[in-house]
Structures are given as C-alpha cells and as structure tokens.
C-alpha cells in the first residue's frame, strides 16, 4: 500500500464504490433478477479492505451514503449486512487466516442480520422470523451466516490469489 499514489487510491476507491452501489441497488432497478446481484456488493468492499483497511472503510461508507439517495432500505441492508461482511472478510482473511475470518465474519453477519430484523425492522428472512422465537432466530441466523461466510471466504481467497498471480493489483499489494 505504501506505493499507492493518492490519485490511484481515489480511482480504485471510486471504482469499487461504484460497483458496490450498482450491485446493492440492483433489486431496485431489476426487481427479480436484481436480488441475485445484491449479495455481490460484498465483493468490492472486501477487495478494498484487503488492499487497505481505510480504503475498505471509505468504500463502505461512500456506498452507503450514495445508496441512501437511491433507496434508503438498500443503504441500511448494505450498512448492516453485505458491506459490513465485506469489511470483516477483507480485513481478516489474509491478516488472521481463514478460520478466524470465517468465525468473526459469521458472528458479525449474524449480529447485522439480528440488528436489521429487530432494530431496523427489515426482516432478513421474510416472515420466517415472525413465526420463530428469538433464540431460534439467533441459531438459524448463526448457522446460515457460518455457511454463507465460509463460501464467501473460500471464493474471495481464490479470487484474490488469482488476481495477485496475474498481477492485477500491480504494485498495490505490499
């Protein structure tokens, strides 16, 4: 990261922020198909956090701010789940290892989903949470989160290894 100029930092941050906003806002503009693209907003935030933690945080907050102008519900979803997951995975996957990254990101995603459901009032799993008790909901969220983040961690690790191997990051990775 020491070799990254401010112009490159801003350019990469802007590109990754744009990608996060496009993926997260896809359900607004493509109602059925967009739901498949929305989880991909984790990827640009995770790549930014992998490259440089302050860059990841900047992309996270910039994408949430832009989404607040497009559709506030998608901004809240990014803030509590997909973006937060990207920050945690991008920060810990290579700095602390796969197991630590999976456990931490699983717990953070579960807490984000619980906050989304019980504080923001946006049901993470639709009507399922209304029919279950809170302890059952916590267990379901945690189990889902651990499986989901395991897939994300493995896929992101393979993608970053590939990008480093083909030198897509250039002199960014130090």
Q: Which fold has domain 6-165?
A: Arp2/3 complex 21 kDa subunit ARPC3 (1.10.1760)
pLDDT, averaged per 10 consecutive residues of the chain (174 residues), comes to 76 96 95 92 96 94 96 94 96 92 96 89 73 86 96 95 82 54
- Ranges of H-type helices in 30-170: 34-37, 42-51, 53-70, 72-77, 83-92, 98-118, 128-131, 134-165
pTM of the model: 0.90
Token digits of residue 147: 């499986």
Amino acid 174: pLDDT: 47
Query: What is the end-to-end Cα distance of the chain in Å, rounded?
Result: 5
Amino acid 120: pLDDT: 83
Amino acid 172: pLDDT: 56
DSSP 95: T
Cα angle 104-105-107, degrees, rounded to a multiple of 5: 65
Cα angle 68-32-14, degrees, rounded to a multiple of 5: 40
Each domain of the chain, given as residue ranges in start order, spans: 6-165
| Integer Cα distance of 28 and 20 in angstroms | 14
Cα angle 55-58-62, degrees, rounded to a multiple of 5: 140
Burial (Cβ within 10 Å: 0-12, 13-18, ≥19) of residue 131: exposed
Cβ atoms within 10 A of the Cβ of 52, count? 20
Cα angle 88-149-68, degrees, rounded to a multiple of 5: 60
């Amino acid at each position: 990261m020491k070799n990254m100029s401010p112009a490159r930092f801003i350019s990469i941050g802007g590109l990754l922020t744009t990608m996060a906003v496009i993926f997260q806002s896809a359900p607004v503009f493509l109602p059925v198909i967009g739901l498949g693209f929305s989880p991909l907003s984790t990827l640009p935030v995770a790549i930014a956090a992998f490259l440089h933690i302050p860059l990841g945080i900047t992309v996270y907050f910039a994408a949430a701010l832009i989404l607040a102008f497009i559709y506030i519900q998608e901004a809240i979803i990014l803030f509590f789940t997909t973006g937060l997951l990207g920050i945690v995975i991008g920060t810990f996957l290579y700095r602390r290892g796969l197991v630590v990254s999976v456990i931490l990101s699983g717990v953070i995603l579960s807490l984000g989903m619980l906050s989304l459901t019980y504080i923001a009032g946006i049901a993470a799993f639709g009507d399922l949470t209304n029919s279950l008790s809170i302890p059952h909901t916590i267990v379901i969220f945690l189990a889902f989160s651990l499986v989901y983040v395991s897939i994300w961690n493995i896929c992101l690790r393979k993608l970053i290894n590939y990008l480093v191997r083909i030198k897509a990051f250039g002199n960014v990775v130090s």
